[in-house]
Structure 1
């Protein structure tokens, strides 16, 4: 059963972004430039952090579309940094779906690059992924 938010938007007009453990599904509707993340105002969700907000708005600022679209996001997993970066990538991908010419504008800014770095798994015999117990000669 689809949620109410997902039923409003078409499935082909969705941008998906991933970063660390965070996955964001981004939807655009013509509007006045409002940001809603998980049914909460975007500024409140990102704790009024200007760095996160600038990351999220970067693709629209580059294309001068800040006040033409309302952005609705469903995001899960990870922390705020990963979520903000996943929203940025999802929004960039969606803008490229809408107009193919946006790709050549966004690419030089690195907005279409997926950051593949994720946490390395812990190995047995070690304290963390690579931290080993102290070596004792005697």
Structure 2
């Protein structure tokens, strides 16, 4: 009887742990994010640069233009398709360059990880290309 009870306790513990593992495995980069840094350079601005990921699509605001495209997420891998963007010209200092840096970073990203309310996108060499904070 004691042996049977021990087995039941062990099985219940394994099922509980399996439930925890599957919850973390279900984490995704889906959601609304604000760009905190491109590469190692902090990004500030009002309104902020944004990225929304969901249902195989991404989009957002790049500081001048709105953009969007297809995204594929498989486990910890991520691949952003080319961005389609509106074609407004904004003449603020560095605005168009920052926008292009955002698009280039999305293209370079090939893996993602969550650190609390922060999404980090890395390139194939392990360098961080984008750091994003969960939008309020």
Fold agreement, TM-score > 0.5: no
- Length-normalised TM-score, structure 2: 0.29
Pick the structure with more helix per residue.
1
- Length-normalised TM-score, structure 1: 0.29
- Greater C-alpha Rg: 2
Which structure carries more relative contact order (alpha carbon 8 Å, separation 6+)?
1
